[in-house]
Structure 1
Amino acid sequence: MQNVIALNAAGQQGIITARATSDEMLLENIAGGDRTAMHTLYARHNVRVYRFVLRMLRDTSAAEDLVSQVFLDVWRTASQFEGRSQVSTWLLSIARFKALTALRQRKYEDIDQDDVMEIADQADTPEASLDRSRTSAILRACVAKLSPAHREIVNLVYYHEKSVEEVAGLIGIPASTVKTRMFYARKQLADLLKTAGIDSIAA
């Protein structure tokens, strides 16, 4: 009986610990000036944010600087998080805004926001359909050749595992546009891969 009580107590403690270290709880603590919570959130998400902005900026130094800016903003504005999305999505929305600002300063082409017909795409990720040991580098190089709008969708959906709805909210476009861009991005990616000598990819 004592063992059962001990196990139950341990289980409850585990639940409490998990809740205490959730992203949402960390943000609450950060809003109260908790530096340890800030370090924990940074350790948990800085790599994700860095990879996201690096694919947009293609400049390691600029990406590193921007990551610092993102988490400085988090420190300053943690109390403004309203819980309408996952914390990771909120972080990426801050990073995306800063990256787009940096791109505009470089006079990069703005992302096209035109809406087109709705086309659903439920296929598996391209990378999952390829021989990872041989084609990962080729796939990334081909993704880099996509238009900014298509590259951003691939980045968020495949590499950051965001849902269509999350991407729509993050970018500020209809979910139908996200699906359509994903459809055309996959078609363009298939053509690029074929040119690179890879003939098969999930359609």
Structure 2
Amino acid sequence: MSNVIAINAAAKKSIAAARATSDEMLLQDIAKGGRTAMHVLYSRHNVRVYRFVLRMVRDTTMAEDLVSQVFLDVWRTAAQFEGRSQVSTWLLSIARFKALTALRQRKHEDIEQEDVLEIADEADTPEASLDRSNTSAILRACVAKLSPAHREIINLVYYHEKSVEEAGAIIGIPQSTVKTRMFYARKQLAELLKGAGVDSIAA
């Protein structure tokens, strides 16, 4: 019995130590096969990755599957992380690639992704948006109506609090392009919000 207590105490101590460790250190441990480090990294970032992917694919089952794929990739390729960006930025880069691949594979279906977006847009009129319970729901509806490129920028910068530099690294575009897309995305979003009866919104 005392041995079991000692093992449990050691395990708790190991988990506590991992939780106090930086993401970069966790990846180093994962590269050596550290399961505790993998568990901690997953618990630290899985919700963020899930929300990011869900906004791209708009399918909860697919998003959950993609999150599993992302962290499986992390387990396999942790040693390849070179530290040029934050670990969270690296994770979202992997997630974005997986989501785009999944969307391309889905295009063989009878109806393409862009058609689905257009149908959703038609159903979601400004009047319907006004009936929503709060401003954040209206904001989400308006963000959904942006072009994929503009929606991605808003998603990264506002929802995931990424800098212009980090957003560029995730998408694979220059910072100047991020700024341009950001300008037009905000302009279009303001027009959509105005159309939905919201003249201004807190950042």
Shorter-chain TM-score: what band?
Answer: 0.7 to 0.9
5+ residue gaps, structure 1, are 1-16, 110-132
* 8 Å contact from structure 1 (residues 31, 75) kept in 2: yes
TM-score normalised according to structure 2 size:
0.77
* Equivalent position of 1:128 in the other structure: none
Query: Would you say the 8 A contact 2:18–2:37 is kept in 1?
Result: no
- The one-letter code of the counterpart of 2:101 is T
CA distance in 1: counterparts of 2:167 and 2:200, whole angstroms: 27
Structure 2 residue aligned with 1:66 = 66
Q: What letter matches 1:33 in structure 2?
A: G
Residue 78 and residue 18 in structure 1: after superposition, are their counterparts in 2 closer, same or farther (change >3 A)?
A: closer
**Counterpart of 2:193 in 1: which secondary structure?**
helix
Question: Cα distance, 1:172 vs. partner?
Answer: 1.2
C-alpha change, 1:202 and 1:187, in structure 2 (3 Å) is: farther
Give unmatched runs, 5+ long, in structure 2: 1-16, 108-112, 115-132
Aligned to 2:193: 193
The ranges of structure 1 where at least 4 consecutive aligned residues each deviate by more than 3 angstroms after the TM superposition are: 17-20
Partner of 1:118: none
Cα 1:60–1:18, aligned 2, differ >3 Å: closer, same or farther? closer
Which residue pairs with 2:120 in the alignment?
none
Aligned to 2:121: none
1:188 Cα deviation (Å)?
0.7
Structure 1 residue 201: Cα displacement: 3.9
Structure with higher helix content: 2
> Quick one: distance in 2 between partners of 1:19 and 1:51?
22
Mapped pair 1:91 → 2:108: no
Alpha-carbon contact 1:19-1:25 (below 8 Å) kept: no
Higher RCO (CA 8 Å, separation ≥ 6 residues)? 1
Q: Say if 2:48 is the partner of 1:48.
A: yes
What is the TM-score with the length of structure 1 in the denominator? 0.77
Q: Distance in 1 between matches of 2:18 and 2:42?
A: 17
Structure 1 residue 58: Cα displacement: 0.4
Does 2:154 correspond to 1:154?
A: yes
Aligned length: 164
Alignment-mate amino acid for residue 87 of structure 1: V
**Correspondence for 1:34:** 34
Structure 1 distance, partners of 2:202, 2:190, is 9
| Percent identity of paired positions between Structure 1 and Structure 2 | 87
Contact 1:57 1:63 in 2 (8 A): yes
> Superposition pairs for residues 1-203 of structure 1, below 5 Å?
21-107=21-107, 108=113, 134-201=134-201
